[in-house]
Amino acid sequence: MNQLKYRLAQLVSSTQRTKLAYQIHRRVLMYHSISQHKQSDKNIYSLSQQDFAQHVELLHELHKTETSKVVKLDSADRCGITITFDDGYQDTLTIAAQTLVEKNLPFTVFVSSANITSGDSKFLNQQELIELSKVSGATIGSHGHAHTHLAEMTPQDVESDLKHSKDWLEQIVQKPVTTLSYPHGSYNDDVVRIASEIGFEYAATSRWGVFEVGTKKLEIPRIDIWSQDSRAVLQQKLFGKWEWIARLV
């Protein structure tokens, strides 16, 4: 999303009615990378460390109220806020985790297991993943093995990819891995069925929306967090002012 489109989206969102949706339903936030500096508009999924710190301050303030507490993805709470990260970037450990631990806020990191041994320093390696898994409040989830579009694969290949990821992650962190994020938001009924059969209990999508009564635990909507999102924009998103954009993303 370029700067002009983003500003227009902000303008539209500012005119929307406040819904305090996190007090009625659960909002699951979808972060990716947290970088030391602001990124270009083209890198929409890399939020700056400074902006992330402001996000965490807001989330910590809301966490003090029972109906807006920050809770784990697999929590039974039907209202509040959940923090998730996709892809397993190294900065999830070096920047994001440290900031969240200071405020005692739980979070889930979805890791594509093939990245662990890829040699790409952007992603967590095995030792870093072990370290992250021991951080207070951290939950390690699967983002598939090869980070492929699962809905475009045969059921046999889907099962192989997800099972390999789950087994490998569990072997590394020595904990059950029961949460999943569909790579690229790509899933269908077969993918959901296979994920359940393998042992995943909760799965996050890339579909914009709230986690409400009646939402299937293996098809949880989330709220995109983009590189230009200030504290004020995050507050708008939590207050339901960006729900209109679900029709476009």
Q: What is d(CA 109, CA 98) in angstroms, rounded to the nearest whole number?
A: 14
Q: How confident is the model at residue 247 (pLDDT cuts 50, 70, 90)?
A: low
Tens-place pLDDT, residues 97-128 = 999 999 999 999 999 999 999 999 999 999 99
pTM of the shown model: 0.91
Poorest-confidence range of 18-32, 36-50, 170-184?
Answer: 18-32
Poorest-confidence range of 2-11, 51-60, 71-80, 235-244?
Answer: 2-11
**Which residues in the chain belong to E strands, given as ranges?**
26-31, 33-35, 46-48, 80-87, 107-111, 138-142, 179-181, 202-208, 220-224
- Domain boundaries defined on the chain: 3-72+81-247
Q: What is d(CA 222, CA 208) in angstroms, rounded to the nearest whole number?
A: 5
Q: What is d(CA 209, CA 220) in angstroms, rounded to the nearest whole number?
A: 8
Q: What is the mean pLDDT of residues 135-163?
A: 98
Q: What architecture does CATH give domain 3-72+81-247?
A: Alpha-Beta Barrel (3.20)
Tens-place pLDDT, residues 37-51 = 876 566 889 999 999
The CA–CA distances, whole Å, from 86 to 63, 147, 163, 174, 189 equal 22, 11, 18, 20, 22
Q: Which residue(s) pair with 90 in the sheet?
A: none
Q: Does pLDDT of 177 surpass 90? A: yes
